[in-house]
Structure 1
Amino acid sequence: MKLLDLHNLSRKRLEALQASGIEYPEELLLLFPRRYIDKSNIVPIAMLRESGEPVTVVGKVISKNVTGFRRSKRLEVTIRDQSGAMKAVFFKGWKYFITQFKEDEWVALYGKAKQFGRSMSMAHPEVDPVQDPDNLEQFETLIPIYPGNKYFSKAYISNSLIKSWTDQILSSTRVAECLPEKILKRHSFPERHRAFQTIHQPRSRKESQDALLRFKYEEFFLFELSMAKVKNIRISRAEGTVLKPGTLTKAFFNEILPFSLTDGQKDALGDIKTDLQSGLQMNRLIQGDVGAGKTVVAIGSMLIAVDNGLQAALMAPTEILAEQHYQTIQKYLEPLGLNFRLLTGGQKTALRRDILTDIEGGTCQIVVGTHAIFQEAVKFHKLGLAVIDEQHRFGVKQRNEMLLKGDHPHLLVMSATPIPRSLAMTIYSDLDISIIKDMPAGRKPIKTAVRTDKERENVYDFLEESIRAGDQAYVVFPLIEESEAMDLKDATMGFEKLKRRFPESHIDLLHGRMKPDEKEGIMKRFVEGETQILVSTTVIEVGVDVPNASIMIIEHAERFGLSQLHQLRGRIGRGGKQSYCILMPDTKLSKDGRFRLKKMIDTSDGFEIAEADLKLRGPGDFLGTKQSGLPEFRYADIVEDRLLLEQAKNDAWNIIKIDPDLELPEHRELKKVFGPYFKERAEFFGVG
């Protein structure tokens, strides 16, 4: 069957369907109802109550009258059943509705009943003619209500027309099954054709929900199948790259590192060593809360690559973070006599040319940089390991661009934003995951409090006492891309006020519009203790490590996401002192705003905070990037349907394990659907 076979399909309607992304009849079946109207709840008029729930009333038309004057005219229709009488009232379009009623004929009214004086009435109910009042079978089914759009409206594609089209398609076409029979039986899913019938012609709400569950699973299953396929392709392409720790790695951990590794760091390094020695390409994600010691794990991993005569690259999302990593590497690795370089976008031409020559010639063993590493001019001599810090700031596409910089180098990505399980099962499901749960010894839990603007002077008194005692503090203002100028002004005004309030303290202002050397100078003064208070926008959200900073005041705290607040709080508490995070919201707080602030007070567990943040904002806002790789699921929700996602992932990965090319007879129909699906996504995941 073709779209052109649909009845009442004019050229205008065909164009409207195509503009809505519908080219084939089955794509029209995928336009699921957004809700159902249940007209089966028929209530006698005498039993009507003002419940707020829509009901159906069936009765004979007794009278119809137009009352009022000019614009206030309305149509009142009285109907009666065996128990009593009620009115239907139409304020708009009464000239049309008056033609829908004829005295002594039976009608069904569907709407919300309301009490007016002693009688009940319905305002603008839906009206259906009743042929046989003794046989009301027509009201025993659910009526689908389809989503509309501007194209449908202009082409007069009504709800009833869509319903008649789906009925026509289902009666004349047999929809092929794509899920293996074993899966259908295991989860008691209906076959695809039957599931479509149930969605568009449901007999009960439960039946339609069961069918929808099948389609949610199908979305998850095809995506997880593609992720399993991606991983399988990468493994098959990158055999033989065996890396073992050598003298540099051993010297770093045994002689240079001034502290002992935590159990979590040891476990993560153990996973990495196993990957690097397996002969297969490593694709591993290290998750650890702020301050868990991921950088040390990354340095150890890069040294293994250098020990084997290869180069390593560490990429960070901001220049400040890249500079911080570079300084850390410099501090630890200078005694080993290694050549490491910093590559950022703001460097002068001569310096940049020198760095690029170093990288291409192979004399640069470790390069630390920002997005600048992605540029075409950057050519590695022999890249063996790529490390991406704060992975959520980049996304899948950029992660794959990094892999193209070498001959399938090993990949290590790190995230200080704990990743909820549902996200880990989708955009990160092609990665193996290690979690560093413990924190370095000696760190005290950060105390968090909310203070209002009325309590500001008390907060400043506390800040003054702490500075006298030798502590340092951050005062952070929000930075929102759409209003960067406004927020920068906000931070600048705050900076000026603090200078007047603390005339004897050294206060600096840091923001993203400053030149790299200017930012570096400000941070250097803060790190060395010369600056007592650093006023900043969110550029200090990640990476900056100042052990003596023990106070953080976050202005307009309700504007931040939960994960962002948690990241900011992680900038303090790096030393042995008791640290304090003070959240100062505006006077008007939304329900979500109050929830976020309370969650910050109640817990410091990054994973709990991340789960709560994901539920509040949804996956798109949580990731904050179009290039994240998060699929646009049409029916499924990775938060609400997490258990279904887990089932789909297990099933998909088991299939790829035993039949990576879907050649078995039981996977023949699945291959027909999966082939085009995967082809669309392969290039995005770097395996096209």
Structure 2
Amino acid sequence: MPTNFLHTPIDYLNGVGPARAKLLKAELGISTYGDLANLFPNRYIDKTKYYKINELVPDSAHVQIVGKVTHLKTMGDGRSSRLVATFIDSTGSMELVWFKGQKYFKDNLKLNVPYVIYGKVSKYGSKYNIAHPDVELLKEHRSRQQSAMTPIYPSTEQLTKRNVTNKMMVRMMQQLFSEVHNSFTETLSEQIRSQHQLVDKNTAMYNAHFPKSAALLQQSIYRLKFEELFFIQMELLLQNRIRKTRIKGYAFEKVGERFNDFYSNHLPFELTGAQKRVVKEIRADMGTGAHMNRLLQGDVGSGKT
């Protein structure tokens, strides 16, 4: 993958295409590989634990279960219509319910094939159910890039309506990292990374999306934040240097007699060491003829004025 891969139009990413690319640009401002790579998760969900149906409790947190769909049926009419699937494992059965996207799941769910489902459990009567669960074939679940935590990406109402789910966003991100494999250009020197104990750019980018551990996630986020602030500071220093070299003002090279007289004979108190140092620094700046950008900081009553 060439180093300019970040500018590759998102249309070329396997699984996206023109229509989905247009939607991603309109809703999330994603036009290129680089835009997608820098769409970081809002949060992460731990999917390392698998539950059995007989372990479920009402209104529990989100759970992950391995089992099979044995039956599908449509119930109700009009707005009350819903697709209900019977889902079983070795310990019992429950229901999966879809009010939206019924046709998609009715056409694509396979009976008696192992799936991994994920969602929030509810209980109606004696039956547990999960509404609109994430559903993935077990063999695909095992073969895809694994992470201790599943990323949850930003979304919009239009993306949801067009079936661009978080699951699909994760797959697109997995495809992106599969294609660009360790091709992110390192922007910080070895000296800086060593001095501040920063992980490299490729490690940071990958683990910000697919963290292999909580520790690596923390290190990766710290590295990316450090990098962003580092280059903001560099830009400010560069602009300051440009202003000082290109824009010349009047240089006050000599301190006037009135100031010296006031300072030596009429100032009703002795300046502290810090106050004297600040006055000296301001004098030096005003003698250069360059713009002075200075923040004078001190406690209330410390003599700033």
Please confirm whether the aligned pair reaches a TM-score higher than 0.5, indicating the same fold: yes
Does 209-218 or 141-150 show the bigger shift?
A: 141-150
Q: Does 1:431 align with 2:273?
A: no
Alpha-carbon distance between aligned partners in 2 of 1:165 and 1:236, rounded to the nearest angstrom: 47
Question: Is this contact kept in 2: 1:39–1:139, CA < 8 A?
Answer: no
CA, structure 1 residues 85+24, in 2 after alignment: closer, same or farther (shift >3 Å)?
closer
Deviation of residue 54 (structure 1)?
A: 0.8
Within 5 Å, give how 1:221-236 maps onto structure 2: 221-233=230-242
Distance 2:24 2:79 in 1: 38
Query: Given the superposition, is the C-alpha separation of residues 8 and 280 from structure 1 closer, same or farther in structure 2, using an over 3 Å criterion?
Result: farther
Matches of 2:286 and 2:79, distance apart in 1: 81
Measured at CA, do residues 172 and 184 of structure 1 come closer, stay the same or move farther in structure 2, by a change above 3 Å? same
Counterpart of 1:212, as a letter, is: I
The one of 241, 258, 264 equivalent to 1:248 is 258
User: What's the TM-score once normalised by structure 2's chain length?
Assistant: 0.73
Structure whose alpha-carbon radius of gyration is higher = 1
Contact 1:39 1:140 in 2 (8 A): no
Shift of 1:180: 0.5
**C-alpha separation in 2, matches of 1:70 and 1:155:** 21
1:244 deviates by 4.7
Please give the alpha-carbon distance, in whole angstroms, between the structure 1 residues aligned to 2:71 and 2:157.
38
- Matches of 2:78 and 2:172 in 1, distance apart? 41
Superposed CA deviations along residues 177-201 of structure 1, whole A, max 9, x for unmatched, are: 1101112223332221232222334
Q: In structure 2, list runs of 5 or more residues that go unmatched.
A: none
- Provide the rounded CA distance (Å) in 2 between the counterparts of 1:149 and 1:269: 57
Letter paired with 1:182: Q
Written as runs of structure 1 = structure 2, the 5 A alignment for 1:395-406 is none
Asked whether 1:128 is paired with 2:136, we answer: yes
Q: Deviations over 1:585-628 (max 9, x none)?
A: xxxxxxxxxxxxxxxxxxxxxxxxxxxxxxxxxxxxxxxxxxxx
Do 2:204 and 2:223's aligned partners in 1 also have CA atoms closer than 8 Å?
A: yes
Correspondence for 1:268 among 275, 291, 295: 275
Change (3 A) 1:37 1:161: same
Q: 1:109 Cα deviation (Å)? A: 2.0
Alignment-mate amino acid for residue 273 of structure 1: K
Distance 2:99 2:217 in 1: 35
What is the letter of the counterpart of residue 154 of structure 2?
P
* TM norm structure 1: 0.36
Mapped pair 1:58 → 2:62: no
- Could you give the per-residue CA deviations for residues 368-413 of structure 1, whole angstroms, max 9, x where no partner exists? xxxxxxxxxxxxxxxxxxxxxxxxxxxxxxxxxxxxxxx535x4xx
> d(CA) in 1 for partners of 2:163 and 2:107?
21
Q: Output the CA distance in 1 between the equivalents of 2:231 and 2:262.
A: 45
Deviation of the 1:31 alpha carbon: 1.8
Alignment of 1:317-466 (within 5 A): 408=290, 411=292, 431=294, 433-438=296-301
Equivalent of residue 177 in structure 1, options 158, 165, 186: 186
| Deviation digits for residues 297-342 of structure 1 (CA, Å, limit 9, x no counterpart) | xxxxxxxxxxxxxxxxxxxxxxxxxxxxxxxxxxxxxxxxxxxxxx
Residue of 93, 110, 116 corresponding to 1:85: 93
Could you list the per-position Cα deviations for residues 230-255 of structure 1 after superposition, in whole angstroms to 9, with x for gaps in the alignment? 44455666699354543322454577
Change beyond 3 A, Cα 1:12–1:139: closer
Q: How far apart are the structure 2 equivalents of 1:167 and 1:11? A: 19
Residue-by-residue CA offset, 1:125-149 (whole Å, 9 max, x unaligned): 22223349xx957695344333245
Q: How far apart, in 2, do the equivalents of 1:271 and 1:176 lie?
A: 42
Asked whether the equivalents of residues 245 and 290 of structure 2 are also in contact (C-alpha less than 8 Å), the reply is no
Q: Deviations over 1:439-479 (max 9, x none)?
A: 68xxxxxxxxxxxxxxxxxxxxxxxxxxxxxxxxxxxxxxx
**Aligned to 1:212, what secondary structure does the other structure show?**
helix
| Amino acid paired to 2:279 | I
User: Which letter maps to 1:129?
Assistant: L
**Corresponding residue for 2:208?**
199
For 1:189, what is the secondary structure of its paired residue?
coil
Q: Aligned residue for 2:199? A: 190
Q: Structure 1 residues 120 and 268 mapped into 2: Cα distance closer, same or farther (>3 Å)?
A: same
Question: Unmatched 5+ residue regions in structure 1?
Answer: 282-406, 412-429, 441-688
Counterpart CA distance in 2 for 1:432 and 1:439 is 15
Counterpart-to-counterpart distance in 1, 2:79 and 2:164: 30
How many Å separate the matches in 2 of 1:60 and 1:105? Answer: 5
The answer to whether structure 1 residue 214 and structure 2 residue 223 are counterparts is: yes
Deviations 1:207-243 (A, max 9, x none): 3332222111110110112233344455666699354
Deviation at 1:436? 4.4
- Would you say the 8 A contact 1:242–1:278 is kept in 2? no
- Matched residue SS, 1:41: coil
| Equivalent AA in structure 1 for residue 298 of structure 2 | I
Task: Supply the distance in 2 between the matched residues of 1:17 and 1:122 (Cα, whole angstroms).
Answer: 28
Q: Distance in 2 between the 1:55 and 1:206 partners?
A: 23
Structure 1 residue 86: Cα displacement: 2.2
| Amino acid in structure 1 at the alignment position of 2:204 | A
For the residues of structure 1 that align with 2:102 and 2:258, how far apart are their CA atoms?
Answer: 87
Question: Corresponding residue for 1:617?
Answer: none
One-letter amino acid of the structure 2 residue matched with residue 88 of structure 1: L
Aligned residue identity for 1:211: S
Measure, in 1, the Cα distance between the counterparts of 2:285 and 2:110. Answer: 82
Quote the residue 1:145 is aligned against.
152
Q: Which residue of 2 aligns with 1:47?
A: 55
Partners of 2:295 and 2:105 lie apart in 1 by: 63
The amino acid that maps onto 1:29 is A
Structure 2 residue aligned with 1:34: 42
- Give the 3 Å change call, closer, same or farther, for CA 103–433 of structure 1 in structure 2: same
Identity %: 27
3-state secondary structure, aligned to 1:77: strand
Contact 1:62 1:104 in 2 (8 A): yes
For 1:394, the equivalent position in structure 2 comes to none
Question: Per-residue deviation at 1:202?
Answer: 3.3
Q: Is the 8 A contact 2:249 2:290 kept in 1?
A: no
Q: Root-mean-square deviation (CA), in Å?
A: 4.0
Q: How many pairs are equivalent?
A: 291
Query: Residues 280 and 176 from structure 1, CA distance in 2 versus in 1: closer, same or farther, beyond 3 angstroms?
Result: farther
SS in 2 for 1:75: strand
262 and 24 in structure 1: CA distance in 2 versus 1, 3 angstrom threshold: farther
